[in-house]
Amino acid sequence: MRLLARKKIVLVIVEGPSDDVALGMALSQVYDKDFIYVHIMHGDITTRRGVSSQNIVAKIGKDVTDYAKSKHYKASDFKQIIHIVDTDGAYIPDDNIMESENYLDIQYENDGIYTNNKAGVVTRNQQKRDNLYKLRSCGTIWSIPYRVYYMSCNLDHVLYGKPNSTDKDKENDAYAFAKKYRNKVVEFVEFICKSSFSVTGDYKESWNYIEKDLNSVNRYTNLCICIENELDSKMMT
């Protein structure tokens, strides 16, 4: 079924199903004149094996074109691509990655990352930094305007204040968040754009900010820039 001529697709790329649950409905309310489609990556593409700064744009592009072809859409049917990623503390100094065999999983704290495999986290962080630099410098994918926005140190941290959630916590909190902001777009915008964790202003500068010191392991997001741009464009039409 073809979209109405006045409707455009806003493709939102997220890492997992709970991210879709939490943000899909809320973003649909912000982009009420467009058609929101949430594409789930099923993991973090920036740290996936075999993904590098040389091929990450092409890999995301293939996902976009595969979706478009399955729905018989053209590039011109899309308004923009919004890619939401976790920072996972990727920019913190290596000295703030603490190793102890007592940690079964990676733990994110305000003073750094705790792990039983420091070398693995150092390598992961470098790969993630390289890939995120490539993505934030990439203005289009398949001729569609593209921007990547961060949740730090992850989506659960920003939305619920929980940087180390279990999968069950992620699911439960996502449904609670979606219920809380259903049909409450003003409150959702206020939360994302006016909280202490909201990094507003210039897009490039917002990425410079998250690179500094321990910011990428603390609670910040620049998704507010995306939302404010949409609201500003509505006011101009």
Residue 2 lies in a domain: no
pLDDT at 232: 85
Percent residues over pLDDT 70 in the chain: 97
The C-alpha atoms of residue 94 and residue 115 are separated, in whole angstroms, by 12
Q: What's the Rg (C-alpha) of the chain?
A: 18
* Residue 3 pLDDT exceeds 70: no
Tell me the backbone φ, ψ of residue 224, rounded to 5 degrees.
Answer: -60, -30
Structure tokens at 209: 């900010």
| pLDDT tens by residue, 10-58 | 999 999 999 999 999 999 999 998 999 999 999 999 999 999 999 999 9
Residue at 3 is within a domain: no
57-101: pLDDT as tens digits: 999 999 999 999 999 999 999 999 999 999 999 999 999 999 999
Kindly state the percentage of the chain with pLDDT values over 90.
92
- Residue by residue, DSSP assigns 11-74 as EEEESSHHHHHHHHHHHHHHTTTSEEEEEE-SS-GGGSTT--TTTHHHHHHHHHHHHHHHHT--
Q: How many domains does the chain have?
A: 1
CB 155 within 8 A of CB 22: yes
Is the residue at 167 inside a domain?
yes
Q: Structure pTM?
A: 0.95
Tell me, yes or no, whether 203 lies in a domain. yes
CA distance 136 to 208: 11
Domain that holds residue 178: 9-236
User: What would the mean pLDDT of 100-117 be, rounded to a whole number?
Assistant: 95
Judge whether 198 lies within some domain. Answer: yes
Whether 1 is in a domain gets the answer: no
Given a cut of 90, whether residue 2 has pLDDT beyond it is: no
pLDDT level of residue 234 (50, 70, 90 thresholds): confident
Answer yes or no: is 93 within a domain: yes
What is the model's pLDDT at position 33? 86
Question: Which residue, chain included where needed, has tokens 């470098």?
Answer: 126
pLDDT category at 235 given cuts 50, 70, 90 is confident
Predicted confidence band at 237 (pLDDT cuts at 50, 70, 90)?
A: low
pLDDT tens figures, 195-207: 999 999 999 999 9
**Is residue 47 a part of any domain in this protein?**
yes
d(CA 89, CA 74): 37
Looking at residue 6, what is its pLDDT? Answer: 65
C-alpha 191: how far from chain center: 16
pLDDT at position 203 is 98
- 168-206: b (≥16 Cβ within 10 Å) or e: eebbebbeebbeebeeebeebbebbbeeebbbeeeeeeb
Q: What are the angstrom distances between the C-alpha of 128 and each of 8, 44, 78?
A: 31, 9, 27
